[in-house]
């Protein structure tokens, strides 16, 4: 039996993240490296989950290459993204805050 969920893809043996190849809903159980874990928030295709615990300051590795540095401790199976990883080159710009403020002001449900 596979140690890791079919919905998760390991790109390179040294990676400490797995790529989500099909959307996974919040609360759904996922299997990462033999461990059954609950997923706290929904993740869509192309996002990343921690293959193992990653400590703040550790490099985040995908494609066998460093894609940034953990800016917070990341538990195994957790969503790895802009809230817990920073670039080693230029900071990442997102519209997360603007979208959240807009959705609150306009009472828009998240799609």
Partner 1 sequence: MKQLSGFLRSDGRKGIRNRVAVAYLVECAHHVAREIAWPNRAEAHVIGFPGCFPNQYAQGMMERLCTHPNVGAVLLVSLGCESFNRFQLESVIRESGRPVETLVIQRSGGTAATIAKGQAWIDARLEELATAKRVPMDVSELVVGTVCGGSDGTSGISGNPAAGRAFDRLVEAGAACIFEETGELIGCEEIMAERAVTPELADILRASVAKAARYYATLGYGSFAAGNADGGLTTIEEKSLGAYAKSGQSQISGLIKPGDIPPKGGLYLMDVVPDGEVRFGFPNISDNAEIVEMMASGAHMTLFVTGRGSVVGSALAPVIKIAANPEMYERLSADMDVNAGRIIKGEASVDQVGQEIYDLVLNVAAGEKSCSEAMGHAEFILTYKSFEPIGPACLPA
Which residues of this chain interact with partner 1, rule CB under 8 A? 9, 11, 19-21, 23, 43-48, 60, 62-63, 65-68, 80-82, 85-96
Residue corresponding to tokens 């797995």:
18
Q: From the CB of 99, what's the least distance to partner 1, in Å?
A: 9
- Angle at CA of residue 52, ends 48 and 56, nearest 5°: 85
- Residue among 36 and 65 whose Cβ is closer to partner 1: 65
Residue 50 buriedness (CB in 10 A; 0-12 / 13-18 / 19+): buried
- Residue among 95 and 104 whose Cβ is closer to partner 1: 95
Q: From the CB of 18, what's the least distance to partner 1, in Å?
A: 11
First CA to last CA distance, the chain? 35
Q: From the CB of 61, what's the least distance to partner 1, in Å?
A: 10
Instruction: Supply 69's token pair.
Output: 């540095």
């Amino acid at each position: 039996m596979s140690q890791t969920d079919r919905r998760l893809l390991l790109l390179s043996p040294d990676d400490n993240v797995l790529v989500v190849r099909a959307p996974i809903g919040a609360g759904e159980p996922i299997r990462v490296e033999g461990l059954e874990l609950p997923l706290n928030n929904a993740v869509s295709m192309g996002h990343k989950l921690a293959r193992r615990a990653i400590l703040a300051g550790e490099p985040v590795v995908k494609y066998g290459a460093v894609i940034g540095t953990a800016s917070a401790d990341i538990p195994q199976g957790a969503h790895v993204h802009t809230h817990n990883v920073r670039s080693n080159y230029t900071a990442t710009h997102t519209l997360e805050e603007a979208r959240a403020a807009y959705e609150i002001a306009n009472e828009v449900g998240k799609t």
